[in-house]
Amino acid sequence: MSSVFANVVRAPEDPILGVTVAYHKDQSPNKLNLGVGAYRTEEGKPLVLNVVKKAEQMLVNDQSRVKEYLPIVGLADFNKLSAKLIFGADSPAIQENRVATVQCLSGTGSLRVGGEFLARHYHEHTVYIPQPTWGNHPKIFTLAGLSVKTYRYYNPETRGLDFEGMLEDLGSAPLGAIVLLHACAHNPTGVDPTIEQWEQIRQLMRSKSLLPFFDSAYQGFASGSLDADAQSVRIFVADGGECLAAQSYAKNMGLYGERVGALSIVCKTADVASKVESQLKLVIRPMYSSPPLHGASIVAAILKDGDLYNEWTLELKAMADRIISMRQELFNALQAKETPGDWSHIVKQIGMFTFTGLNSEQVTFMTNEYHIYLTSDGRISMAGLSSRTVPHLADAIHAAVTGKA
C-alpha cells in the first residue's frame, strides 16, 4: 500500500542550517563552524548570560507564578519595556501612546505577523528588501501575502555600501511601498549606513511616503551600545511618521531557543494604534493563539530591574567587544601572511557577520581542505571564532585566495 504522500519531493536543506548539518557529520578534530548565527565563547561554547540565570532563578523562586495562557498580545510588561528599549524611554511616540506592541515568536515571528497585518490592512503590497539580505526575509514576506522586490545595498567591489544604488532604487519605488531596513549590523554583509546616510534615507523615504519596516535583531550586540544601535530607528520615529519594528532577543540576551521577540507599529495617533492592536490580535489568534511565557518573563525581569539591566549591558558589551577583537585578530593574521587583496572590510564591518568576499569555489575549498564551514556566499560568523581558531581560518583564507594549499 503506497503512501498518500508518496509524491512529496524531498526539500533541499536550508542553506544556513544545512552548513551545521554538514559540520556535525565531519569527523575532523580541526573542524570549525562559522555558518551559524549564534554567539560562542572563546572556548567555542554557547553562552547563557549570568543575568539570564539570575532572572530565571527569581522566576523559579516566585511561588505566586503560574503557567496560565498569556493574552493574545503577550506579556504587558514585556511589550512596554521592549518598545522603550528600541524607541528610547523619552520617545514622544511612547509618551503619546501611539505605539502598538505585541509579543511574537522572536524576529521571524514578528516579521511574519507584521507582514500579514500589512497584507490585510495596508494599501501597497510591495515590500523592498536589500540585496543581499537574510535568506528568510523573502520567504516570510511572500508567505505573508506581499510581493517582494529588492533594492541595491552592497557593493562587492568596495565590500561596502552601495549608497547611490540604494537611493536610486528607493527613489524609483512606487509611492507608499514598504521598505525593509536592517536597524543595525546588516545580515549578511555587516555593512551599515552612517548616521548621516540614514538621515538621507529617511528624507527620501518620507518624501515618497515609503513605509519603513525595521528588523532589529542585534540591538546592543553590534556596537556594544543599546542606544547607538537603535539610532536608525529613532530618527524615523522622531519625525512623527509611522513605521514598524521587529525586535529579537535571541542575540542580545542569548535567548535563541526561547523565541522571544516583539513587533511594534508606531502610528500617528493613540486611536489608530489601538485599532491596529485590535487587528494584530486577529492575525495572531489563528496563527499560534498566544505567545510563550518563559522567555518574555526573563526579558521583562531584566529590563525592569535597574541592577539586572546594568549587569546585562555589561555582559552585552563584553560579547560585542569579543566579536570586534576577533575582527582585528583575523585582519592582523591576514596582514601578517601578506594574503593578497585588501582585507580592511573585516574591521570596518559590524556585528556578528563578515562578508569576506570569498566566492563559492573558495568556500568549498576551505570546507574540503580545512574543514571550515560557512555559507556559500562567503559569510562568516565572527562569533564562532576564537584566538585559538583565527590562525586556522587565516591559513584557509590565504590558501583559498592564493590557490596554494
Cα 362 to Cα 356: distance, rounded to the nearest angstrom:
11
Cα 127 to Cα 79: distance, rounded to the nearest angstrom:
25
Residues 185 and 221: beta-carbon distance below 8 Å: yes
- Catalytic residue list contains 229: no
- Catalytic residue list contains 14: no
Active-site residue (options: 192, 198, 229, 251):
251
Output phi, psi for 33, to 5 deg: -100, 110
In the structure grid, which three cell numbers stand for residue 178, read together? 514598504
Cα 216 to Cα 183: distance, rounded to the nearest angstrom:
5
Count CB neighbours of 37 within 10 A: 20
Output phi, psi for 94, to 5 deg: -70, -45
- Catalytic residue list contains 268: no
My answer on whether omega of the bond before 188 falls inside 30° of 0, hence cis, is: yes
Active-site residue (options: 134, 198, 312, 343):
134
The H-assigned helical ranges of 214-338 are: 231-238, 270-288, 294-304, 306-337
Active-site residue (options: 169, 192, 215, 229):
215
- DSSP sequence for 24-47: HH---TT-EE--S-S---TTS---
Known catalytic residues are 134, 215, 251
